[in-house]
Structure 1
Amino acid sequence: MHRFIIVGGGAGGLELATRLGDRFGSTDEKTPPKAQVTLIDRNPTHIWKPLLHEVAAGSMDPFTQELEYAAQALWHGFEFQQGELVGLNRAKKTITVGPLRDEHVGELLPERELEYDTLIVAIGSTTHFFGVEGAQQNSIALDTVGQAELFRKRLIAACMRAEHFAPEPVAAGADDAEDEPGVDPVPRIQVAIVGAGATGVELSAELRNTAQVLSAYGLHKLDPKHDIGIVLIEAGPRILPALQERVSIATAELLTKLGVKLMTGETVAQVSRDSIHTASGKMIRADLTVWAAGIKAPAILTNLDGLPTNRLGQLTVRRTLQTEIDDNVFALGDCAACPWPGNERNVPPRAQAAHQQASFLFKSLERMLQGKPLPEYTYRDFGSLVSLGHYSAVGNLMGGLIGGNMLIEGLFARFMYMSLYRLHVAALHGYARMVLDTVAHWLRRSTAPRVKLH
């Protein structure tokens, strides 16, 4: 029996495990599986990573959106093992999964060695701090639900404290340090977001809504717009540098209307507990700092039995998604450096790329088991969408969707953005259950506050 092991239960990895399980696995003890499909992840649950900014802002309760890997495995005929990839032996075709520990109980599972015939690495990416002094210690990344929840709780605590304690004097030389006629007052709380990519931009807009809702529910009596400041810092000349300039301009206009301060062309040199220092000599007050300035592949990939990686630590793969020196090891998603024909850069690390690669690889692995040659993957860019919370959305549609390139914003863009997540749910559960999940989500939202208040 052929043994598939998929390491990483993100958008691409979980979709691939689900489809392979449906095709080759078995949910009935009386029916033997055609292949053994195993999913490995260090967490017990899955959440779509692009939703983490909503978790951080409190506008989404993660526990209503998380999916238990063990349940998905039972429903779709694959096996789930919890643990972290710590080693690979390509000669023996084995991977080593580290021990699973609980902070209260101790070791739950020992270190294990699992055999494979085909290995698919899909462990995603992690935050890149670029060696900036104090960045990792004094800012919060949004890689996990735990980090997003930590930021949300600290934001609520900061709002409650600011209402009952006099503000501390602003350090001399700090950005916007003095009140002057015609100038907005210094905020009682200031949230600084480093990195104006999709995560930073979406979080800044979502936080403006959070500030208003927390005030409406009486958690603080601060002015949501003037007492709670949001600063978005970007090293490049414009926000959303990876997207088209007209999308960037439209988004900047919307954020400015929401009262988000944009600082472009400012490279962060140091992050302290309550301030950010830039290379140009500016000091920006920051009661809370979120680091969303870039991503890199997990460090383990550079130690996987000689598999080649690029400068970001991604596994370099051919267009078949096979690694350069081992036909039995594949990689997809953010952790894979895949060529993009006709472009100087590789396939971008986006959810749509992971979704496409999972669908492509499912068909490729079927052909492989039939002894047929593997096809080559070509990324299809359908455009990019950025959510600005319930206020709006903005983006561009490209290629096969409209046969050209079109800037969209407003309600239509918001609908398109929401549909991306629904398509992910459909890939995991089918369209019927996706519709039921959408209705259930709407009913929950109709009987709960728009922001998690505790």
Structure 2
Amino acid sequence: MHRFVIVGGGAGGIELATRLGDRYGGRRRSGAQRASITLIDRNPTHIWKPLLHEVAAGSLDPFAQELAYAAQAQWHGFQFVQGELVGLNRGSRHVLLSPLLDDDGTELVPPRRIEYDSLILAIGSTTHYFGVPGAAENSLALDTVAHAERFRKRLIAACIRAEQRESAEGSACATLADRTPRVQVAIVGGGATGVELSAELRNTAKVLSSYGLHRLDPTHDVGIMLIEAGPRILPALKERVSTAAAGLLGKLNVKLMVDERVAEITPGLIRTKNGKTIRADLTVWAAGIKAPAVLSTLDGLTVNHLGQLNVRRTLQTSVDDHVFAFGDCAACPWLGYERNVPPRAQAAHQQASFLVKALARRIDGQKLPEFAYRDLGSLVSLGHANAVGSLMGGLIGGSMLVDGLLARFMYLSLYRMHVAALHGYARMIVNTLAHRLRRSTAPHVKLH
């Protein structure tokens, strides 16, 4: 039996494990089992990472959307092992996992070794601070649900404290337009995460005010600033998408600062290389990503300057045919371009679909195909009723700008497609209806 071991249960990893489990796993109704599939992740549950900005803003309850890996494994014929990758032995073909600890730090499971015939690494990415002094210590990242929940709670606390200060000191300004924001949120990085979070936070401030958690003016007293080192926000997308997004953020009273490279972050302050000092009660770092550091320690596997594993177009690593990598942690050549496949959810989805077929050929001893990425465009959420982006493809002969409710509907459909890949379309429809029913009987923002 061929042993597939997948490390990383993100969007691509869990989809690959699910589809391989459906094809080869123990729940097959007929025929001998030709392969075993093991999924390894350090967390017990999965949540789609592009949703984390909504968790941070409180507009999404992560516990209603997360999926237990153990349950998915039972339903789809693969095994789940909770643990963190710490080592690799390519000679004997096994990975090493760290001990599993409980919340108090007590060891539940000792270190383990998991043997493989084909190893697929899909451990995603982590925040890249680019060596900026104080960035890691004095800003919040959005890598995990825990990070997002931490920011959400700090935002509520900052609003409550600001209201108490205002009540004690009184207002010195005659008009709201002249008032300095009582709470200042600074988001470093004008990519998709930063733009989506800034738009979502404006709605959060309004909902928190309407429920009485603070009595600040949600538009003028809660300031939201987006800081981008380049000349425009959304630098990875077409300029017309960037321009449209900037206009929509302006209507939400989100202040944009472009061509401002952050030089240092201290408690409550951001200093830029242009000499500006920016007050910030809360700072979110969304300026870039890199691969987890463990990849550079894995028994001779080579990485690029971002720590991503170098892979060929078969998605096999450059030095070992038995080790594959895909998603954000892999530097995969993009056919026809002088750069690698971008770290996007659609790329991980396409690579997972490719690997389902490629790994089947590997079991049969056939030559592996080569992966070709198709850029289908990008969509960026700008609040509960708006989005903007571009669509690409042969049917439209290039790219097309979309915005408004149509773009928002298409953006929401991306997550529903991910749910369908994991559960099938019938359960996806039930999940969508259940989500709508929950929202009809609960606040649209988490209030505690």
TM class by shorter-chain length? over 0.9
Measure the CA separation in 1 of the matches of 2:230 and 2:42: 34
Give the alignment of 1:359-438 within 5 angstroms: 359-400=353-394, 402-438=396-432
Paired position in structure 2 for 1:318: 312
Q: Say if 1:382 and 1:401, in contact at 8 Å, map to a contact too.
A: no
Measure the CA separation in 2 of the matches of 1:26 and 1:310: 38
Q: Say if 1:4 and 1:116, in contact at 8 Å, map to a contact too.
A: yes
CA shift digits 1:204-230 (9 cap, x unpaired):
000000000000001010000000000
CA shift digits 1:261-302 (9 cap, x unpaired):
000000000111101000011011100000000000000000
Paired position in structure 2 for 1:136: 136
Q: Tell me how far 1:8 sits from its aligned partner.
A: 0.1
Asked if residue 331 in structure 1 is aligned to residue 325 in structure 2, the reply is yes
CA shift digits 1:21-77 (9 cap, x unpaired):
000001379986321100000000000000000000000000000000000000000
Q: Say if 2:187 and 2:283, in contact at 8 Å, map to a contact too.
A: yes
Q: Say if 2:268 and 2:280, in contact at 8 Å, map to a contact too.
A: yes
* Matching residue within 434, 440, 445 for 1:440: 434
Paired position in structure 2 for 1:98: 98
Paired position in structure 1 for 2:19: 19
Q: Say if 1:394 and 1:413, in contact at 8 Å, map to a contact too.
A: yes
What is the TM-score with the length of structure 1 in the denominator? 0.96
Paired position in structure 2 for 1:172: none
Q: Tell me how far 1:405 sits from its aligned partner.
A: 0.8
What is the TM-score with the length of structure 2 in the denominator? 0.97
**Helix, strand or coil at the partner of 2:270:** strand
Give the alignment of 1:17-416 within 5 angstroms: 17-27=17-27, 33-104=33-104, 106-166=106-166, 184-400=178-394, 402-416=396-410
**Helix, strand or coil at the partner of 1:4:** strand
My pick for the range that moved more, 343-352 or 97-106, is 97-106
CA shift digits 1:183-240 (9 cap, x unpaired):
6421000000000100000000000000000000010100000000000000000000
Q: Tell me how far 1:180 sits from its aligned partner.
A: 10
Q: Say if 2:177 and 2:220, in contact at 8 Å, map to a contact too.
A: no
Q: Say if 1:26 and 1:32, in contact at 8 Å, map to a contact too.
A: no
**Helix, strand or coil at the partner of 1:37:** strand
RMSD: 1.8
Cα 1:186–1:210 shift into 2, 3 Å? same
Paired position in structure 2 for 1:174: none
**Helix, strand or coil at the partner of 2:40:** strand
Which segments of 5 or more consecutive residues in structure 2 lack a partner in the other structure? none
Give the AA of the match of 1:100. L
Q: Tell me how far 1:401 sits from its aligned partner.
A: 5.4
Q: Say if 2:22 and 2:28, in contact at 8 Å, map to a contact too.
A: no
Measure the CA separation in 2 of the matches of 1:105 and 1:120: 29
Give the AA of the match of 1:66. E
Measure the CA separation in 2 of the matches of 1:291 and 1:53: 12
Paired position in structure 2 for 1:173: none
Give the AA of the match of 1:310. N
Measure the CA separation in 2 of the matches of 1:339 and 1:217: 50
**Helix, strand or coil at the partner of 2:120:** strand
Q: Say if 1:396 and 1:408, in contact at 8 Å, map to a contact too.
A: yes
Measure the CA separation in 1 of the matches of 2:120 and 2:406: 36
Measure the CA separation in 2 of the matches of 1:29 and 1:304: 38
Measure the CA separation in 1 of the matches of 2:127 and 2:179: 33
Measure the CA separation in 2 of the matches of 1:42 and 1:182: 47
Q: Say if 1:6 and 1:122, in contact at 8 Å, map to a contact too.
A: yes
Measure the CA separation in 1 of the matches of 2:54 and 2:42: 22
Q: Tell me how far 1:391 sits from its aligned partner.
A: 3.5
Cα 1:253–1:180 shift into 2, 3 Å? farther
**Helix, strand or coil at the partner of 1:71:** helix
Cα 1:30–1:370 shift into 2, 3 Å? closer
Q: Tell me how far 1:167 sits from its aligned partner.
A: 9.1
**What is the aligned length?**
446
Cα 1:389–1:29 shift into 2, 3 Å? same
Q: Tell me how far 1:245 sits from its aligned partner.
A: 0.3
Q: Say if 2:237 and 2:378, in contact at 8 Å, map to a contact too.
A: yes
**Helix, strand or coil at the partner of 2:256:** strand
Give the AA of the match of 1:27. R
Give the AA of the match of 2:44. P
Q: Tell me how far 1:344 sits from its aligned partner.
A: 1.5
Q: Tell me how far 1:371 sits from its aligned partner.
A: 1.6
Cα 1:309–1:360 shift into 2, 3 Å? same
**Helix, strand or coil at the partner of 2:186:** strand
